[in-house]
Structure 1
Amino acid sequence: MALEISARQIFAFAFIAIYVGIAISGLEQAIVLWLLALVIPLHLIYWQDIRQGRHTLLRNYPLVGYLRYFFESIRPAIRQYFDLAGWHRLFRLSQ
């Protein structure tokens, strides 16, 4: 069984190599390390998204996927707000 590496995985490995190179070359400048501290967690999230096989939305469109799952998580509160406001009574078919 041959190991199949996709273009996205090659992209991710290339960025890991770039991060290591920047960290080594920027040891005397603290601002470079702070920038890496901000960017590396985003890269790890990207790596997790391309490796998982459960949610294709997160793998193909990560920003849209995270927004969708965020709005799904707050949906009960939003629905409760609109139910209390009486919006559902305005659009009833049996009036």
Structure 2
Amino acid sequence: MKRVSSKIALLVLLAAVNVSPVFAADAAKPKGGAPEQTESMKDFIKANPDCLEMNDQCSFCSVVDGEAQCSTPQIACVKQKYQCTMRSSK
């Protein structure tokens, strides 16, 4: 009887060892990931000539004489599409 219970215990242990890497491995990341930046900053400024300030959730930029002056990107940011946060009042 002891031999049978030892074999069962061994089989259970082997089954657990074979399955455990599946649970321990990192989950696969979806291919989508972070949204891609579809337009360059220069294109965004051209398309939005009245935009004075913009950001992409990483860097905050001011447009001076048609050129962007941006902050250093934030730590652990997820880059998004550019958004105008201040427009000139014409």
Instruction: Please identify the structure whose Cα radius of gyration is greater.
Output: 2
Give yes or no for TM over 0.5: no
Question: TM-score, normalising length from structure 1?
Answer: 0.23
Question: TM-score, normalising length from structure 2?
Answer: 0.24
Structure with the bigger percentage of strand: 2
Greater relative CO (CA pairs within 8 A, separation 6+): 2
Structure with the bigger percentage of helix: 1
